A and B are shown apart, each in its own frame.
Chain A
Amino acid sequence: MIYLDNAATTRVCEEAKNAALQGFETFGNPSSLHHLGVVAEGVIDEARGVLAGSLGVKEKEVFFTSCATESSNTVIFGAARAYGKRRKKIITTTIEHPSVAEPIRVLEEQGFEVVRVSPGEDGKITPESITRHVDKNTLLVSVMYVNNETGYILPADKIFKAVKRISPETVCHCDCVQSFMKLPFKVKELGADCISLSGHKLHAPKGVGALYIRSGVRILPLLCGGGQESGQRSGTENVSLISALAAAVKRLEPTIMQRYETVAALKKRLTDRLAGREGIHINSGDDCSPYVISIAAERIKSETMLHFLESKGIYVSSGSACSKGKKSGVLSELKVADKYLDSTIRVSLCAENTEEDIDAFVQAFIEGQESLAKIR
């Protein structure tokens, strides 16, 4: 099996598996007053330390959630509940993941003004295109760091800094699911007030995510109850998965640059072999994250190519896995030509992928392009 769908989810690493198993043994409720509770709480505190360290933030600014969708929903609804009486404008892009786009749409229905900035003709978003909408009435700016369908890297740091210059009160949220542990960044340089993270994109299990909230920014909680996570996210903590997430981060953190180089070389190998071939188009340019490669074989349906590759034991995705068969509006927003929209597949890498994986993919992709029936 050759797994090239790492932007959808990743294989759980040994370190995370072991941490999770150990976490199951540490079964105490972190809120309990007795010794077992104290031990479990210790596990979570340690994990919080790891996450905080990796982001360059204070421990009390990191909260554990069930997934990035929950993190983003918390920020968007929580900011609206905290500040929405006075400020009614939300600025975002047209290429956000549904976990951000949908809660914003719900707020729009409730009367918030939403500005969705579309990339320019070159498929890029400039800080200026965002900031020209920012005013004192702006509640929230939510911009992803790396797009999940093409790997496009947004100038998130420039955007947030420019927003803050105009309106320091505006909450800046960044969906960092496809960039955390892939691109080297610290929160301070990124300039976001809130950051959403997911465990299962970095070789931790599904069911755990994290949320950074800069201290001083008020985000009302989505879940209320026993007051866990400083009241920011009630519900008994998932000790085991939180520990697994920290283990995965610990494993990846020292090698961010090294893995970036490895993956960039793999991407180059892939694009070098395919670029220039008749009927093949690579949607992800050199300025994209090397972890995601969006690629089209003209007139061959994405789904057909996907299943053809699957028959060769190669797993990729069509569009993004979250949209399961639905057409991608994000690709056309990123100015991928219409003729490639139905034919685009996404190859997404991790550092465990090898040159052999890439060669096998390239060979199968070309074979598919030559043999499969084409759309008329």
Chain B
Amino acid sequence: MKEMILCKYGEIALKGLNRSTFEAVMQKNIKHRLKELGEISYSRSQSTLYVEPGEGVDIDEVIDRLKKVYGIVKLCRAKKIEKTMEAVLSEETTDYLREELEGAKTFKVNAKRSDKHFPLKSPEICREVGHVICERFPHLSVDVHDPDVTVIVEIREQNAFIHAGTIEGAGGIPIGTSGKALLLLSGGIDSPVAGCMIAKRGATIQAVHFEAPPYTSERARQKVEKLAKIMAQYCGDIKFHCVPFTRIQEMIRDNCKEEYFTIIMRRLMMEIALKIAEREDIQCLVTGESLGQVASQTMYAMVCTDAVSTLPVFRPCIGMDKSEIVEISRKIDTFETSIEPYEDCCTVFTPKHPKTRPTLADVEKEQGRFDFSSLVETAVRDTKCEYIKAY
């Protein structure tokens, strides 16, 4: 028996002349994610990518990883059978679903015949397959409206397949088809979510993190690296830039008005991120901000921070409530790590009463009290970089 996985893509199928490029990128991504799991062969036809694990490959692990590949809308774990009615109706074929069928009370059969040369039409296939299942599993009855198990028979170009339903994929479009994005990754709940949302739309993600020892600890950095590692299961390998930020924070404290601390800090972070983006040929910045969540995330504050940026700043969480962000972070499994209680660089220098409606002129004037340019240069120069791999 040959078990394989059918990865079905949604949106890519509509990409017209670019379609094969998208398909090729996705296949490359999948290959990379699965590479150390063993011998696996790949083929594509009819809006489906076939993943065929060789002998000894852990197929559960393959499916787990495929569920996190952007571009795949649905997955089917199926048995590949010869494209004849004898094979479809054989005992071996129905045996493949024995576990599901024995645990169910009712079932129905769905047939999809994309190869119109196949002698039987879909309803006829359903009838025949339904018949042999009823014979072999006499406890089952047919329920076409709300069955416990739906047996799906697909008659495709080369082969036929049988399976018991689809698994939801991650959706989106393949990483690497939309350009490169630089994510400002703190250690909180929102930024990993923002990163994955942009990655889902095909962007390759790099991350920049600002650390301020001794105000932040080694554990805080480890936590962020752990977050990046979890994200990498979705986003692919992440190039991670860690910026030493202590001097800049201390100089803001010593020279600027307290109520402007956060906003000036955000502007300087943007400035540094931009320089890294330029060096890495990156097309946008991404943050986890949500409108009005905290003082630095008001529209007024964003006007002031964005004034620094020559690249678009994407904020995919902008219209989401915290609970919605949390929901996604649980889904991508970053939540538990995000809530670990270590200092991140924002908390020690947080003003008691930050300005919620700063004007650009005031902020620029306040920031002008000190020339940060050489500190920014030094921070960029001393930024450490590493690759974070998912597996």
Q: Footprint of B on A, CB under 8 Å?
A: 301, 303-308, 310-311, 324-326, 372-373, 375-376
Contacts and interface: CB of A to CB of B under 8 A. Distances in A.
A326 B253 contact: no
B214 A326 contact: no
B343 A303 contact: yes
Contacts of B213: 307, 311
Contact of A307 (B214, B351, B352): B214
A240 to B, nearest CB: 31
Nearest to A323: B341
B351 A376 contact: yes
Given A303-B217, A307-B214, A373 B348 contact: yes
B341 A301 contact: no
What 3 A-B pairs have minimum CB-CB distances, sorted nearest first? Answer: A307-B214, A308-B214, A325-B341
B255 to A, nearest CB: 13
27 contacts: A301-B343, A303-B343, A304-B348, A305-B214, A306-B214, A306-B217, A307-B213, A307-B214, A307-B216, A307-B217, A307-B218, A308-B214, A310-B214, A311-B213, A324-B341, A325-B219, A325-B341, A325-B342, A326-B341, A372-B214, A372-B215, A373-B215, A373-B250, A373-B348, A375-B348, A376-B258, A376-B352
A325 B220 CA distance: 11
B249 interface: yes
Nearest to A305: B214
B352 A311 contact: no
B250 to A, nearest CB: 6
A301 B214 CA distance: 10
Contacts of B348: 301, 304, 373, 375
Nearest to A308: B214
A326 B341 CA distance: 7
* Among A307, A326, A375: residue with most chain B CB under 10 A: A307
B365 to A, nearest CB: 22
B214 A304 contact: yes
A373 B217 contact: no
Contacts of B352: 376
B314 interface: no
Interface in B32-49: none
A373 B214 CA distance: 10
Interface string B228-255: 0000000000000000000001100100
Nearest to B215: A304
B300 interface: no
B258 A311 contact: no
Contacts of B96: none
Nearest to B349: A373
Given A307-B216, A372-B214, 12 more contacts: A301-B343, A303-B343, A304-B214, A304-B343, A306-B214, A307-B214, A307-B215, A311-B213, A324-B341, A325-B219, A325-B341, A373-B253
A304 B348 CA distance: 9
Contacts of B218: 307
A279 B214 CA distance: 20
B103 to A, nearest CB: 37
Interface string B12-50: 000000000000000000000000000000000000000
A310 B219 CA distance: 13
A222 to B, nearest CB: 29
Nearest to B258: A376
A229 B322 CA distance: 53
B214 to A, nearest CB: 3
Contacts of B219: 325
Contacts of A304: 214-215, 343, 348
A373 B250 CA distance: 7
A308 B218 CA distance: 12
B251 to A, nearest CB: 11
Contacts of B216: 307
A303 B347 CA distance: 12
A376 B354 CA distance: 13
A306 B253 CA distance: 21
Contacts of A306: 214, 217
Contact of A373 (B249, B341, B342, B343): B249
A282 B67 CA distance: 56
Interface string B338-370: 000111000011011000000000000000000
A324 B343 CA distance: 12
B84 to A, nearest CB: 59
Contacts of A326: 341
Contacts of B215: 301, 303-304, 307, 372-373
A72 B79 CA distance: 56
B9 to A, nearest CB: 44
A307 B250 CA distance: 16
Contacts of B250: 373
A364 to B, nearest CB: 11
Interface in B181-240: 213-219
Among B214, B250, B351, find the residue whose CB has the most chain A CB atoms closer than 10 A: B214
